[in-house]
Amino acid sequence: MTSHELEERLIDFAVLILRIVKSLPNDDAGKVLRHQLAKSGTSPALNYGEARSAESKRDFIHKIKIVNKELRETHINLRIIKKSEMLMKPVLDDGINEANELISIFTATIKSSSKN
């Protein structure tokens, strides 16, 4: 997968997250999770864009670690939403699955970049 393709995948993930955010209830819990999920779910695409312009290998690894951290936060938020039954839509499972796949990709990227 090229850097451009990965960036597009992260953008698609951010859009998926925003669709989930729009579906959350308008109660207190929904508002809290909407805010957290919108931030953590769009952050990976933005931080990956920064990583692609890293000034050094160390800077690249640092920014990729931030991408992974935000993906993990998003994954946990999605699982909380599912377990609380706040939202029961197939798009929620799509988000959880994509977050898992992206975490695996970026974990491998961190490992390989750290070795070189």
Q: Report pLDDT for 99.
A: 98
Q: What percent of the chain has pLDDT over 90?
A: 94
Task: Read off the amino acid at residue 44.
Answer: P
Q: Which domain holds residue 104?
A: 3-115
- The pLDDT value given to residue 115: 86
Mean of all residue pLDDT scores within the chain? 96
DSSP string, 17-41: HHHHHHHS-SSHHHHHHHHHHHHHH
Nearest alpha carbon to residue 41 among 68, 18, 7: 18
Cα–Cα distance, 65 to 69 (Å, whole number): 6
**CATH number, domain containing residue 108:** 1.20.1440.60
Judge if pTM exceeds 0.85. Answer: yes
Count the domains in the chain: 1
Q: In the predicted model, is pLDDT for residue 116 greater than 70?
A: no
Question: What is the C-alpha to C-alpha distance for residues 27 and 24, in angstroms, rounded to an integer?
Answer: 9
**pLDDT (tens digit, 9 = 90+) per residue, 35-84?**
999 999 999 999 999 999 999 999 999 999 999 999 999 999 999 999 99
Mean pLDDT of 11-21: 98
